[in-house]
Amino acid sequence: MSDDPTPPFSDQRQPHPGFTDRMDPKPDHGEDSYKGTGKLAGKKAVITGGDSGIGRAVAIAYAREGADLLVSYLCEDEDARETKKWVEEAGRTCILVRGDISDKAHCRAIVDKAVEAFGRIDILVNNAAHQATFNDIGEISEEEWDKTFAVNIHAMFYLTKAAVPHMKPGSSIINTSSVQADSPSEMLLAYAATKGAIQNFSAGLAQFLADKGIRSNAVAPGPIWTPLIPATMPKEAVESFGEQVPMGRPGQPRELAPAYVMLASDEASYISGATLAVTGGKPII
């Protein structure tokens, strides 16, 4: 049995986009547990939404595997600085870029800064996401719908299109989908729709890029304990978060990191167009 926290959790809702230090219990990003073995030695990676949650866990793991990073984030400066600290403690470079990826010019600027610093991009992790919960479709404004797609879908396209010319054979693109792509929740209608699109985009992109030697895959997390949960879920959903999967608990961000490491590494050289489920036992078929 896992020693990771299980529901019920306390009522701890907080303003969007959510902050790690206000969570109880604190998420585990692998700060004390992840051990690198050089799988990504010398590689250069861009991670969106790398300030907290899954993105921070991936940043820590990538740094300990030998990669230098550019971490993109919205506005959570304290969380971003904490990620940078862990990356630098691993002896790697971490460039922080603050801003809204729903702006196509900002997406291009992220890629430009990475290329300026590193000369190339070996790994692109499109991880940042926007979500909100609603009880009825009538509650979803047109602005909210557009924002969800702008952050989750359009930005992924802009970043990928800008990055590909700077990626060599052997490079990897990893997009964060969700169990919501296959098992959508009605209260996450807009978010779930984008996650289905991400999964489809990743598979189509793999075929586009195969002749360039660039791989494209998706990771589909189940319920993961990140700041997005208390910042976007109603009280009852936060308190019971994760109990719906067979393992009976939410995943910790550190439990996602090995999937992203594997897909970024040369060991995954024949894996492209796949979706890797990390869902606590809930099947994706």
Nearest to 124 by CA among 101, 91, 105, 103: 101
Cα torsion for 80, 267, 224, 23, to the nearest 10°? Answer: -30
Per-residue confidence band for 2, with pLDDT thresholds at 50, 70 and 90: low
The yes-or-no verdict on residue 1 having pLDDT over 70 is no
The yes-or-no verdict on residue 3 having pLDDT over 90 is no
Would you state the pLDDT for residue 66?
Answer: 98
Sheet (strand 68-73) strand order: 94-98, 68-73, 44-48, 123-126, 172-176, 215-221, 275-278
Per-residue confidence band for 270, with pLDDT thresholds at 50, 70 and 90: very high
Mean pLDDT (whole number) for 228-235: 91
* Catalytic option among 34, 73, 158, 191: 191
10: which DSSP letter? -
Would you state the pLDDT for residue 105?
Answer: 98
Would you state the pLDDT for residue 210?
Answer: 98
The yes-or-no verdict on residue 26 having pLDDT over 60 is yes
Q: In this structure, what token pair is assigned to residue 231?
A: 């910042």
Is 191 designated active site? yes
Domain parsing of the chain, residue ranges: 44-278
The yes-or-no verdict on residue 284 having pLDDT over 90 is no
Q: Count of CB atoms within 10 A of residue 89's CB?
A: 13
Q: Residues 114-161: pLDDT tens digits?
A: 999 999 999 999 999 999 999 999 999 999 999 999 999 999 999 999
Q: Residues 242-252: pLDDT tens digits?
A: 999 999 999 99
Query: Cα–Cα distance between 267 and 175 in angstroms, integer?
Result: 18
- Residue 235 sits at φ, ψ, to 5 deg, of -50, -50
Residue 199, judged by CB atoms within 10 A of its CB (0-12, 13-18, 19+), counts as buried
Per-residue confidence band for 94, with pLDDT thresholds at 50, 70 and 90: very high
| Residue of higher predicted confidence among 221 and 19 | 221
The yes-or-no verdict on residue 88 having pLDDT over 90 is yes
What share of the chain in percent tops pLDDT 90? Answer: 93
Return the CATH superfamily for domain 44-278.
NAD(P)-binding Rossmann-like Domain (3.40.50.720)
pTM here is: 0.96
The yes-or-no verdict on residue 285 having pLDDT over 80 is no
Would you state the pLDDT for residue 41?
Answer: 98
Query: Cα–Cα distance between 70 and 49 in angstroms, integer?
Result: 11
Residues contacting residue 144 through CB under 8 Å, at least 6 positions apart: 132, 190
